[in-house]
Amino acid sequence: MTQYEISAVLTTIITAIIAGFVLLRGWNKPLTKYYGIYTALISSWSFCWFKMISASNYSQALFWARFLHFPSSIIPATFLTFSQYLVGVEKEPRHVLLRRIFYGLGVFFLSISFVSNFVAGTVSKKGFAYYLDPGPLYISFTICFVVSVVIIHYQLFKAYRKEIGFKKMQIAYVLSAYAIGYAGGASVFLTVYNVSMPFFSLYAIPICHMMIAYTIFQYKLMDFGLIVRWGIAYGFLVSCLAGLLLAVLFVTEKISRLYFGGIPGIPTLVATAVIVASYEPLRKWTRKFVDRILFNAPDLQTVLDGFSRALHGARSLSQTIDNLSQELKKVWRVDHAGIALWSLETGAFSPLPHEAFQDRAIQALGGRIERSDFLTKTLENERRLFKEGVITQDEVTALANRSRLGERATLWKIRRTMRQVGAGLCAPIMDGKNLIGFIILSQKTDRTIFNDEDKKILSRVGELISGDLRNFISSNTKETGWSLTKLSQISTAG
């Protein structure tokens, strides 16, 4: 195989694997769905291109030279859709119009793929036995493709300049990756117009998707880490079961021949029984191994057990808060953690432990957060706006950047309070419909963002803390200045 063929095969395999995982596990989320479709189209185009340059006769080469425009005609439109969902502008009227234009052009070029004025034939050129020979209409496709890619990169660049935090880093890596990918991938047009294509150019596409994979894991683009984790877990499970099946069949076959005269069915029966008995414990072990060892992900039951020990081992409220803060730091790998707890004595939420917030801006404001604050009001009454009711500073910023002026002002006030307490995330602690406190976590030390799995576990931790704090505070009202019997009055007073 030539270097061109190797790079095409590598691109096909890598993009097909990524597309398969994404579409299998992320079809219900628009961002992951369109990324999966877009990546599948790249894989299809790469396969068709490989078939064209490796064809053994003219008719095969001509078919693939024309057929490769089925996926490639739609690639710009799906790339645009993915990028619009990434930066959150997919519903803006001008972006909807732009998307319709892209899909309209894509359908047009797809419809003329087998017209001789579009692809005239295949000829030998620049080291290829068969390569696409353009018709008079083909230049329009080339121009549209290049201009479309430039427009999309410009839109991503504008969003990059506007965003801050992790979203900015996500866009930066996506922008850089696809700039490299398209610089290499678009070089296939060079040979169409009798210009030599560098042999290494198509390797830019696998490099591009490796950069996207890095963004997925480091900056949690699309929570794809969960998809890969499931893929590895169940792939490993199937491999273990297959290995176990072969081993059991081999051993039982030997024993059957030696002691039972080769009675048919015994090896299969024994192997089936072993597989059935081994499946569940092996599945649990595999899932735990992949989660804890390969991905260092928190295990829900282990986390809840740790917080239960932290609660039950404390003899005072201050010790309880200290224990919980240390546990929060350990599980989520943060430098700063605490709990803002409602106090009837101050009539506000007090961030605890006090020493953890001494150097924070909240101290200049009396070390208290009013119930009328937009952060606490959102945690109590507008939790539906955020996954699991957990608010992250990055999500607030992203929402504000694409909201109207009035909504943006409210979101900036939420972010302001989060910054005053040094919070990258706030998770509510509810007692029925009333907010009795909230968990405060700084950004993670490894610079990764809080994903849906983190939020789900923090939501469960909040429920656990709520129940145990209720029991604890009921017998320690003097220390806390907090009366559960007057809890129903708190919301009314706020």
Asked whether residue 485 falls in the same domain as residue 379, the answer is yes
Domain boundary among 294, 310, 331: 294
- Using CA atoms, how far apart are residues 268 and 371, in angstroms rounded to an integer? 67
How confident is the model at residue 319, as a pLDDT? 86
C-alpha span between 23 and 125 (Å, rounded): 38
Q: How many domains does the chain have?
A: 3
Rounded distance, CA 298 to CA 303, Å? 7
d(C-alpha 201, C-alpha 204), whole Å: 6
Q: How far apart are CA 33 and CA 80, in angstroms?
A: 13
Are 425 and 398 within one domain? yes
Q: Where are the alpha helices (DSSP H) in 358-439?
A: 374-381, 393-401, 405-420
Looking at the structure, tell me whether residues 133 and 96 fall in a common domain.
yes
My answer on whether 108 and 232 are in the same domain is: no
**In angstroms, what CA-CA distances link 230 with 222, 262, 388, 477?**
15, 40, 22, 46
pLDDT by residue, tens only, the chain of 494 residues: 788 888 899 899 988 988 887 787 777 788 888 999 999 999 999 999 999 999 999 999 999 999 999 999 999 999 999 999 988 888 899 999 999 999 999 999 999 999 999 999 999 998 899 999 999 999 999 999 999 999 999 999 998 888 766 678 788 889 999 999 999 989 999 999 999 988 788 888 888 888 887 776 665 566 555 555 555 555 555 666 666 666 777 777 777 777 666 566 666 667 677 767 776 776 666 656 655 554 455 666 778 888 888 887 777 778 888 999 999 999 998 999 999 988 777 788 999 898 889 889 998 888 899 999 999 999 998 878 888 899 999 888 878 877 788 888 999 999 999 999 999 999 999 988 889 899 999 998 877 778 777 888 899 899 888 876 666 555 544 444 444 334 334 333 44
Residues 274 and 373 in one domain: no
- Three-state secondary-structure class, residue 455: helix
Residues 397, 315 within the same domain: yes
Q: Are residues 476 and 370 in the same domain?
A: yes
Shared-domain flag, residues 347 and 473: yes
| Distance, CA of 70 to chain centre | 29
- Those residues with Cβ within 8 angstroms of residue 61's Cβ, 6 or more apart along the chain or in another chain: 52, 55, 122, 129, 130, 131
Whether residues 249 and 348 fall in one domain: no
- Work out the angle between the directed axes of helices 30-53 and 3-26 (0-180°, nearest 10): 160
- Residues 361/423, Cβ–Cβ less than 8 Å: no
CATH code of the domain in which 177 resides:
1.20.1070.10
What pLDDT shows up at residue 346?
A: 78
Last residue of a domain, one of 294, 321, 344: 294
Residues 233 and 122 in one domain: no
Domain boundary among 294, 324, 349: 294
Domain that holds residue 456: 300-493
